Amino acid sequence: MSAGFRTFNPIKNDWNPEVYQNTTQDEYNHKLSLIAEAQRFLGRQTPEKRAALLQVIAACLSQKKELIKGFYLAESGLSETRFEMEWNRTIHTISHFATHLTTDFQAVKTECFPSESLQIQKHKLPIGPVLVLGSSNFPLAYSTAGGDTVSAIAAGCCVIVKAHPMHVGTSIAVANCIIEAIKKMNFPLGIFTHLIDEGYQLAQALCIDDRIKAIGFTGSIKGGKALMDIAQSRSNPIPVFAEMGSLNPVLIHTDLSKEMETEFAQKLALSITNDAGQFCTKPGVIFVRTLNSGNHFVQELKNALSLIKPVPMLHPQIHRNFEERKKEVLSIPGVQSFSCAIAAKGIEGTWCLAETTLQDFASNSSLQEEVFGPFALLVYYQDVAALNQVLESLPGQLTGSVFFREHDSQIDEWTELLCTKVGRIILNGVPTGVRVVETMHHGGPFPASSDVRFTAVGQDSINRFQKDVSIQSQNIT
């Protein structure tokens, strides 16, 4: 057995004491051998039974909240306030699906044709065992008991979770609660499988394992595309539901009053830097017209940013990636920067606001790629038609935001344009803060997500892990 690996404490800027071991091949073989029987069992359960399992999971998690909190804080460097926010969202997501299964979920649709003695039923069935890969920036809400796991179980699918190596302790504590809930329900243990690997080998093996029928992933474009390529190379290709990177463009209308510019600048500054900007929905590029009131907005944005102190990033690799990407962008000719004046300690992410012209932005692909961390790019334009042309050339995004005072024809034009590029449009608000509600669509055209038709949040996310089967019966009287 290897010496094992440890997680990192960003607050202490040191490694945590707990040592973890990778799942062995024998453990892997044994755990996955239990899945087929468990899938048959879970697939036969009523929506009400699956809802009951989710409710027991929520209760078991609540009993272990303080234990989970301890690991969460030590492994992420995130604040207690952020923990409470993410904890409440996780519990709400579980309750959201339990309610959905017992109220408006329709497992079977029936149509009868008496003159033909014919009945057709369409059944919603589980797609099969789902692999969920833990996300680095959401140790709870997009990880072991996060939206992918919960929606997959709600759909009747067994779940195999590969813990993110930088929050293994959190993942184990949560996994133990799910396993305890399964035992309390007297359900087969193979319904939920928890695996550990400090690298990528296990994830790659799982992607090509014939027992896996779908994959849920939240992370980088590079990681998501790699999973998609592997999944499509299988003799029996499977869907990968990946939520990946995004610039989340922001458009500032010229009709804002100075008071509105100050208010919106402060909101954007917080959205850019909140939790070191480690959100897939962080505003990454802001388009400002250089004429009229644009300069006042820029100054207010800089004033708001200058009051924000840096905080630790999630782990050393994310910090290194952030510094490298920031350096890459700032080295491009024509790009200027306004940066945090406070010296970083440890792996703190110091915010940076870069500035460039629309022409330079359009001509350099590196400027059109996400910088994951407390970073945003101000792009100055003079002509709206030229801006619209650039927006039309952007790849798919998760969100697009528009700030304005009066809803005029320009807002309608931008909204219509953004509908072709993003999964969610925010009017006079920031893109961070995704609500778990039925009307939420969290996804977007590639490469923001792997399939624009599906959401990773809200009750419709169950559709990713279900398939339709029609049963047509003749001689029905």
Residue with tokens 């992607």: 207
The DSSP symbol for 281 reads T
CB atoms within 10 A of CB 95: 16
Question: What DSSP letter does each residue of 306-347 carry, written as one string?
Answer: HTPPPEE-SSHHHHHHHHHHHHHHHTSTT-EEEE--SPP-TT
Residue with tokens 């008991």: 145
How far apart CA 344 and CA 68 sit, in angstroms, is 29
- Of 60, 157, 177, 280, which residue is the catalytic one? 280
- Bridge partners (DSSP) listed for residue 112: 119
Q: Is 74 helix (H, G, I), strand (E, B) or coil?
A: helix
How far apart CA 361 and CA 377 sit, in angstroms, is 9
Does residue 419 carry a catalytic annotation?
no
Give Cβ neighbours of residue 339 (< 8 Å, ≥ 6 apart). 350, 351, 352, 353
- Cβ–Cβ < 8 Å for 261, 297: yes
- Of 75, 198, 243, 348, which residue is the catalytic one? 243
Does residue 48 carry a catalytic annotation?
no
| Cis peptide preceding 188, ω within 30 of 0 | no
CB atoms within 10 A of CB 52: 18
How far apart CA 257 and CA 417 sit, in angstroms, is 25
Stated as kind and residue range, the H or E segment containing 357 is strand 352-357
- Phi and psi of 401, rounded to 5°? -120, 145
The residue type at 470: S
Which residues are catalytically annotated?
A: 243, 280
